[in-house]
Amino acid sequence: MAKIGLRSFLYAPLTADDKSTGPTYGTLASLAGAIASTFTPDIAEASLYVDDKRKEYDAELIGGTLSLTIDSDAENSIKTLLDMSTESVTVGSETVTGRTVSADDTPIACAFAQIVPLMINGVKKYRAQVFYKVKFKLYTSEANTKGESLTFDTTTLEGTTMPLLNGKHHTEHDADTEADALAFITALLS
């Protein structure tokens, strides 16, 4: 199996997390254009040594870090995810609105999903990946002068993944078509 691309960064606000009935989510929406994603798991580990030898070992997933490189800072999506407020300013005869970052912004918990095209034994498939609970944080903003050559600057958004109250962390499903992968994500988060 080889990964041959990345598509469709999506999110849905987590509206309830109930241990017995499971999570409920708000409306599924596009986050931004997908450039790169990396999931780094946080693993809790323990070893028991007896008579100078390891007798027991256990490891379990407790969460992780999700780093997303996006094509823009997707004004409305980022504003929602990071709970930013807006500020209106009158410029000449026009009123313009911008995002305002403040100390009391509280990022929302949301589900994050993406589609990863695959090649498996010469057949193209589409892997739907869904992280059930993520909280993103304010990203590092960087800009560079163009100088003698052009480069595209991108934004990297970082989130902390965590399990739901029912213990579920993330899921994957390989579909035959991109539409089927998207339908899986939509059904799971509806």
Chain segment 50-59, per-residue pLDDT in tens? 999 999 999 9
Q: By percentage, how much of the chain surpasses pLDDT 70?
A: 98
pLDDT band at 144 (very low <50, low <70, confident <90, very high): confident
Within-domain flag for 178: yes
Within-domain flag for 53: no
Helix (H) and strand (E) counts in the chain: 2, 12
Count other C-beta atoms under 10 Å from residue 177's C-beta. Answer: 11
The Cα–Cα gap between 66 and 130 comes to: 12
Within-domain flag for 109: yes
How many domains, in total, are found in the chain? 1
Output the pLDDT for position 99.
Answer: 79
Within-domain flag for 13: yes
pLDDT tens digit string along 165-174?
Answer: 999 999 999 9
pLDDT band at 113 (very low <50, low <70, confident <90, very high): very high
Show the domain range for 140: 2-45+58-144+153-188
Within-domain flag for 165: yes
DSSP 8-state symbol, 143 = -
Cα atoms in the 13 Å half-sphere on the side-chain side of 172 = 8
Within-domain flag for 116: yes
Mean pLDDT confidence for 106-127: 94
* pLDDT over threshold 90, residue 162: yes
* pLDDT over threshold 80, residue 141: no
Tokens of 14: 């987590």
Within-domain flag for 167: yes
Output the pLDDT for position 98.
Answer: 80
Output the pLDDT for position 73.
Answer: 63
Output the pLDDT for position 178.
Answer: 96
- CB-based contact 103:44 (threshold 8 Å): no
Listed range (40-44, 63-67, 92-96) with the worst mean pLDDT: 92-96
Tokens of 43: 């693993």
Amino acid at position 100, single letter: T
Residue 157 belongs to domain with CATH number: 2.30.110
